[in-house]
């Protein structure tokens, strides 16, 4: 079992999440911390520079089942995900939340 600090998520970021989304979403993130940990770490390892901002803007990405996260990456065949997200975090919508193949 991981916790927020294991994933590199600071107390300050948790407070911002609580302010933005409310305690219920933070509780959901905490309940699903192993999944959150995997997605957060994967994005960091891919070279995404603003993972904290991405978490603040799209907490639902981190609640996505990790296998679904990986399947989307494989299905989309996106090799430059870090470049796309570093260019504009709004690209997350096209990558992970678009119905297009």
pLDDT digits (tens, 9 = 90+) for 3-22: 889 888 999 999 999 999 99
Structure tokens at 43: 């994005």
Q: What is the pLDDT of residues 32-59, one digit of tens each?
A: 999 999 999 999 999 999 999 999 999 9
Grade residue 99 by pLDDT with cuts at 50, 70 and 90.
confident
Q: What is the pLDDT of residues 66-98, one digit of tens each?
A: 999 999 988 887 778 899 999 999 999 999 988
Count Cβ neighbours within 10 Å for each residue of 7-22 and write b for 16 or more, e otherwise. bebeeebbeebeeeee
* Stated length of the chain: 101
The pLDDT assigned to 1 comes to 55
What is the reported pTM?
0.88
């Amino acid at each position: 079992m991981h916790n927020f600090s294991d994933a590199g998520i600071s107390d300050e970021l948790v407070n911002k999440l609580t302010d933005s989304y409310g305690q219920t979403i933070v509780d959901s993130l905490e309940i699903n911390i192993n999944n959150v940990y995997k997605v957060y770490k994967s994005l960091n390892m891919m070279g995404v520079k603003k993972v904290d901002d991405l978490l603040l803007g799209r907490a639902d990405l981190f609640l996505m089942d990790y296998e679904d996260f990986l399947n989307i990456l494989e299905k989309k065949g996106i090799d430059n995900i870090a470049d796309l997200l570093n260019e504009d975090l709004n690209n997350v919508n096209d990558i992970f939340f678009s119905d297009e193949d």
